Amino acid sequence: MEGGTTIDPQGGEAKRQDGRVPGRVPVLLPLPLAGPYDYAVPEGWDATPGTLVTAPLGGRTLAGVVWHGEADGGVAAAKLRPLSALLPAPPMTAPLMRFIDWVAHWTLSPPGAVLRMALSVPGALTPPPRRPGVMLGEGVDAASLPPSRARVAAVLAEAPVPWAASDLARAAGVGVGVIKAMRDAGLLIPALLPRDAERPDLSAGTPPLLSPAQAAAAASLRAAVVRGGSGATLLDGVTGSGKTEVYLEAVAEAVARGRQALVLLPEIALSAQVIARFRQRFGTDPFVWHSEVTGARRRDTWRAVAEGRAPIVVGARSALFLPFPDLGLIVVDEEHETAFKQEDGVAYHARDMALVRAHLTDIPAVLVSATPSLETLANVERGRHQRLHLPERHGSAGMPDVGVIDLRATPPARGHFIAPPLATAITETLARGEQALLFLNRRGFAPLTLCRACGHRFQCPNCTAWLVEHRYLRRLECHHCGHAEPVPPACPECGAEGSLTPVGPGVERIAAECRDRFEGVRIAEMSSDTIHGAAGAAHYATMIEKREVDLIIGTQLVAKGWHFPHLTLVGVVDADLGLAGGDLRAAERSFQVLHQVGGRAGRAEHAGRVLLQTWSPDHAVMRALVSGDVDRFVAEEMEERRAGGWPPFGRLAAIIVSSPDGAVADEAASALRATAPEGEGFRILGPAPAPLSILRGQHRRRLLLKASRGIDVQALLGDWLARTTVPRAARIDVDVDPVSFL
Ligand code: ADP
Ligand code: ZN
């Protein structure tokens, strides 16, 4: 925190030993303000750092946190507004406060904007109302009641505590109507239920018998948990090698010691199957946290975490900001996933910030991946992280056999996207009664629609992007802003009818082709358009496990987390897709995603096969996937990054200028260029129009700071932005360690 003055210039109040002025505290509010504001503490209130309070701001009253560090002292004591109330919630821990400051500093965000993520559930800041239940009325005699009512009375005589009506009905073996009738008759009286205060029992699950390599890795992680103290470990090994089983042992160790464990997953991997693994291992469901957890469930979960009743939390990146009082371990599964990067608002990378939170909490972190990011591998090389490696798949399952289909030699027929060798492989697989998966990371029917008569292309009115045809919904959609319009009967440009033509495939189009080509095939189309929430995913998983599906056609959504024993063939419709665009990590990311989706093949006793359709079979990514020589691919990528000074050997920060007015965006970008710092060890590239130069009606320009690792990027950026005056109608966003360059 900024150091305040030692004496209040107006009030002249004395400071205590800890640097805090009596009767005055800094309070951080969940708003994008420069820092905490001072408030007066009413006589007799205990407002130590971390206390959750409400405080007035303007005409409003807001929840906030009594912050650590010194009060600012700038406002005279007489003018200071008092705190409104102390909130009945557990105080924020010192490590979490330090973490919030740290994230704010790293991302150049106001600390209040980060606090907002930690206080994302205002309803949880007060204890939930106690739910109504019933108890036995005074003087009620079971013997005088008819049998079903007597059973209820007997249960209550044995356990004379408040019961929820549904629980009581179940315990007594009667319908809820009986309970209701007894209440109406005055035999049962209302009584409030106690609050949930129990930490669930996690001892009912079944630990697996680990292989020697798994057991060694698990022992090492358990030891790190027992030892405590910070330190990160990379746990890597091919898909199916038992990494999950191994890190669950570390989780078991943490919870056995009465501490809490946080497991971060990329949101799309929060499938029912993953949750089921936790249930199996611990006998009960973990607490789950992601954007779809809403309402009372969200409130209860936040509260359970804050009160230490949630031993295991499995969550998406935002779970990093939950108020664990006694965190003992953080696991980041699929650590290489770009979904861990938040792009909007506070632009943070959850994997990196997980390492920070673990460090500040002084606990171990485990990063898990079959295809670790170069960032993590570089940290292993530097000796910052330990590495545990699982060499082979568990049980009899071997690695799938990966081959390429050279589209130059065997192209698909016109208007088709499945080349003859892939079609043959699918036919053979289905004939054996096994399942196949076709992967194409593109939603909808076709990514572009054009008019054959005049060449008109359907573009989003708000974005520099084509509209994607969704044939089931009969509409054209922008995948960036959500704009949608019906597919018109004629070309809006030239009026020609029947002239609109789809260009290129999405999963819907692949499904249509397969329906035509493979008679009677039962297809499951899996994308965010067809799968809604965990229940939707579970529904598909069950269908596939029960073999009610022959062919799965899916986007990124099917690439990970799933385990389908009868799936033996994976076909990648367009293996080159991710290589287009040429962003820094295109090759790395393509390799990761294709390796991951290929890993879905042959996870049980049947051998798996992966076929990659590509126009460039000699590309390093294809060669690495076919040969399985991952180390060589990684070494080459590393060398290229090192030579170019790119991450993980150099640092990047993007500045994105946006405005509804293109000229204003240009003006702001030029202003930044004009004040750009100069010096050794860094360069500023741009401004240039962003690849998505118009997004949601905002004109966007980008500048990129490229620096060597020794440069204090935050200081440089902070100073630069402070020196620059940009038009008010322009908005400046900073993205430190950017993942997306759109
Ligand atoms: P990874 O996380 O490396 O992809 P998993 O932990 O998901 O691997 O293991 C792959 C499959 O093998 C899972 O179904 C898992 O339950 C099973 N498996 C792994 N190790 C064992 C073991 N020691 N005993 C029984 N089953 C195991
Ligand atoms: Zn759009």
293-311, pLDDT tens digit by residue? 888 889 999 999 999 999 9
Residue 405 has pLDDT above 60, yes or no: yes
Ligand nearest to the CA of 696: 2
| Residues composing the chain | 742
Report residue 192 as tokens.
């409030």
Choose between 687 and 532: higher pLDDT. 687
The DSSP result for 394-439, as a single string, is: STT--PPEEEEEETTTSPPPTT--S-HHHHHHHHHHHHTT-EEEEE
**Can you say whether the dihedral through the CA atoms of 616, 618, 619, 624 is positive or negative?**
positive
Average pLDDT over residues 205-214: 91
DSSP 3-state assignment of 638? helix
Task: Provide the pLDDT confidence category of residue 161 given band limits of 50, 70 and 90.
Answer: confident
Ligand nearest to the CA of 334: 1
For residues 281 and 207, is the Cβ–Cβ distance under 8 A? yes
Residue with tokens 């980041």: 332
Residue 535 has pLDDT above 80, yes or no: no
DSSP 3-state assignment of 327? strand
Q: Please list the residues that pair with 552 across neighbouring strands.
A: 437, 524
Residue 9 has pLDDT above 80, yes or no: no
Ligand nearest to the CA of 477: 2
Atom of ligand 1 nearest to the CA of 370: 3
For residues 572 and 605, is the Cβ–Cβ distance under 8 A? no
Ligand nearest to the CA of 240: 1
Q: What is the model's pLDDT at position 269?
A: 59
Query: How many CB atoms neighbour CB 662 within 10 A?
Result: 15
Average pLDDT over residues 281-297: 91
The half-sphere exposure of 348 on its side-chain side, counting CA atoms within 13 A, is 29
- Side chain identity at residue 436, one-letter code: A
Atom of ligand 1 nearest to the CA of 210: 23
Query: Parallel, antiparallel, or unpaired for β 500-503 and 484-486?
Result: unpaired
Average pLDDT over residues 648-655: 96
The residue whose CA is least distant from atom 19 of ligand 1 is: 242
CA distance 589 to 129: 47
The residue whose CA is least distant from atom 18 of ligand 1 is: 242
Q: pLDDT digit string (tens) for 368-397?
A: 999 999 999 999 999 999 999 998 888 766
Residue of 211, 236, 238, 394 best suited for mutating to test ligand 1, as the one with most atoms within 8 Å of CB: 394
CA of 99 to the centre of ligand 1 (A): 34
Residue 349 has pLDDT above 70, yes or no: yes
CA of 485 to the centre of ligand 2 (A): 11
For residues 302 and 252, is the Cβ–Cβ distance under 8 A? no
Atom of ligand 1 nearest to the CA of 333: 2
Ligand nearest to the CA of 388: 1
CA distance 21 to 50: 16
Residue of 244, 393, 545, 567 best suited for mutating to test ligand 1, as the one with most atoms within 8 Å of CB: 244
CA of 222 to the centre of ligand 1 (A): 18
Choose between 713 and 239: higher pLDDT. 713
CA of 102 to the centre of ligand 2 (A): 34
Q: pLDDT digit string (tens) for 175-195?
A: 999 999 999 999 999 988 877
For residues 333 and 368, is the Cβ–Cβ distance under 8 A? yes
Report residue 505 as tokens.
């495939």
Q: What is the model's pLDDT at position 655?
A: 97
CA of 369 to the centre of ligand 1 (A): 14
Task: Provide the pLDDT confidence category of residue 6 given band limits of 50, 70 and 90.
Answer: very low
CA distance 713 to 736: 8
Q: Which of 18-22, 108-112, 442-446, 576-580 has the lowest mean pLDDT?
A: 18-22
- Side chain identity at residue 372, one-letter code: P
CA of 479 to the centre of ligand 2 (A): 7
The residue whose CA is least distant from atom 11 of ligand 1 is: 240
Query: How many CB atoms neighbour CB 181 within 10 A?
Result: 16
For residues 96 and 120, is the Cβ–Cβ distance under 8 A? no
CA of 214 to the centre of ligand 1 (A): 10
CA of 92 to the centre of ligand 1 (A): 37
Atom of ligand 1 nearest to the CA of 599: 4
Atom of ligand 1 nearest to the CA of 241: 3
CA of 464 to the centre of ligand 2 (A): 7
CA of 514 to the centre of ligand 1 (A): 32
**Can you say whether the dihedral through the CA atoms of 497, 498, 504, 509 is positive or negative?**
positive
Pocket of ligand 1 (CB under 6 A): 208-211, 214, 237, 239-245, 394, 563
CA distance 583 to 715: 26
DSSP 3-state assignment of 518? coil
CA of 449 to the centre of ligand 1 (A): 44
pTM of the full structure:
0.87
The residue whose CA is least distant from atom 26 of ligand 1 is: 208
Q: pLDDT digit string (tens) for 71-112?
A: 887 888 888 999 999 999 999 999 999 999 999 999 999 999
Ligand nearest to the CA of 269: 1
Q: What residues contact 700, with CB distance under 8 A and at least 6 apart?
A: 656, 657, 658, 665, 689, 690, 692, 693, 694
Count of helix runs (H) and strand runs (E) in the chain? 19, 29
The residue whose CA is least distant from atom 20 of ligand 1 is: 242
Atom of ligand 1 nearest to the CA of 211: 23
Query: How many CB atoms neighbour CB 240 within 10 A?
Result: 24
Residue of 241, 245, 563 best suited for mutating to test ligand 1, as the one with most atoms within 8 Å of CB: 245
